[in-house]
């Protein structure tokens, strides 16, 4: 059997970070990053991908530790999740600025990392209200991009110093749409076909109606590990008579 694909999700910053926020204080980057990590994780796990989190909760995790976690886990891809800000000098007196849009940073514009960034961008283009004019940039100076062994991308999901962007970044429905798009891009990069939630739900309902499986609600929530797939195959075979 092919080895399970693995992705390391790196939720930027920590709950002690009170600096990276919208100028009106209604949005904190650490909260957004962690929420996005959980949302992307759910979609990846639903497709059988193993997810390693560098920061699973509000705790402080140093950049060095984040890289160590990834380098120990040896994932197929490292994805760091952030939102952007314009420099304080470039913004107006109230802290708001005009710069907006999604962008993705990589160590260099080549190889697997660039392929992954493009696969994610391809999906995000369909849902993001704004994309930077040069959406994939080389940033070799960024610590997590320079010190992770796996192909690595760092996503800036828009500017929390933009009134227009932050309205989206705070919106739960938009977060889910974006997380789904990014998960889909990651899966494309890993060579795993996307399965719609609704497609799975309909299939589970059909099997339950035919009496092949029971407790459809439980099946819809499963992450389809090897054991649950094994159980399902046995149930399907038994139904064939
Ligand atoms: Zn950040």
Does the structure show a pLDDT above 70 at 114? yes
Question: How much distance in Å is there from the Cα of 143 to the middle of ligand 1?
Answer: 12
Q: How far is the CA of 189 from the centre of ligand 1 (A)?
A: 24
User: How many angstroms does the Cα of residue 13 sit away from the middle of ligand 1?
Assistant: 6
162 pLDDT higher than 60: yes
Lowest mean pLDDT across 133-137, 170-174, 181-185, 232-236: 232-236
Assign residue 48 the CATH number of its domain: 3.40.630.40
Mean pLDDT of the chain: 93
Residues 204, 183 within the same domain:
no
Q: Which of 190, 206, 230 is the last residue of a domain?
A: 190
Question: How many whole angstroms from 84 Cα to the centroid of ligand 1?
Answer: 6
Q: Are residues 157 and 234 in the same domain?
A: no
Asked if residue 131 and residue 230 are part of one domain, the reply reads no
Query: pLDDT per residue over 100-113, tens digit each?
Result: 999 999 999 999 99
Are 168 and 222 in the same domain? Answer: no
Same domain, 38 and 140: yes
**236 in the same domain as 148:** no
If you measure from the C-alpha of residue 154 to the centroid of ligand 1, how many angstroms do you get, rounded to a whole number?
Answer: 9
Residue 90's pLDDT band, with cuts at 50, 70 and 90, is: low
Q: Is the pLDDT at 168 greater than 60, yes or no? A: yes
Q: How far is the CA of 156 from the centre of ligand 1 (A)?
A: 7
- Rounded percentage of the chain residues whose pLDDT exceeds 90: 74
pLDDT at 89: 54
Task: Tell me which residue range forms the domain holding 18.
Answer: 6-190
Q: Which of 83-97, 154-168, 199-213 has the highest mean pLDDT?
A: 154-168
Express each pLDDT in 38-66 by its tens digit. 999 999 998 999 999 999 999 999 999 99
- Evaluate whether residue 89 is within a structural domain: yes
Q: 125 and 216 share a domain? A: no
Question: Global pTM?
Answer: 0.83
**Number of domains making up the chain:** 2
Say if 1 falls within a structural domain.
Answer: no
Residues 6+ apart with CB under 8 A from 174: 168
Q: How confident is the model at residue 223 (pLDDT cuts 50, 70, 90)?
A: low
């Amino acid at each position: 059997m092919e080895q399970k694909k693995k992705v390391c999700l790196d939720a930027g910053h920590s709950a002690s970070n009170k600096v990276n926020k919208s100028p009106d204080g209604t949005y904190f980057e650490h909260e957004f990053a962690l929420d996005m990590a959980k949302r992307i994780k759910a979609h990846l796990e639903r497709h059988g991908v193993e997810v390693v989190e560098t920061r699973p909760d509000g705790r402080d995790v140093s950049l060095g530790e984040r890289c160590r976690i990834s380098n120990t886990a040896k994932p197929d891809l490292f994805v760091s999740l952030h939102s952007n800000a314009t420099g304080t000098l470039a913004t107006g007196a109230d802290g708001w600025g005009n710069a907006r849009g999604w962008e993705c940073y990589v160590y260099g514009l080549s190889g697997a990392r660039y392929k992954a960034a493009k696969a994610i961008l391809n999906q995000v283009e369909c849902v993001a209200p704004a994309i930077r004019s040069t959406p994939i940039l080389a940033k070799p100076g960024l610590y997590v991009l320079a010190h992770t062994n796996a192909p690595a991308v760092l996503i800036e999901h828009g500017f929390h110093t933009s009134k227009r962007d932050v309205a989206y970044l705070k919106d739960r429905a938009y977060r889910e749409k974006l997380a789904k798009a990014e998960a889909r891009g990651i899966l494309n990069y890993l060579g795993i076909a996307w399965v719609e939630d609704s497609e799975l739900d309909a299939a589970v309902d059909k099997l339950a109606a035919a009496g092949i499986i029971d407790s459809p609600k439980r099946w819809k929530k499963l992450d389809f590990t090897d054991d649950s797939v094994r159980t399902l195959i046995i149930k399907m075979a038994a139904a064939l008579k």
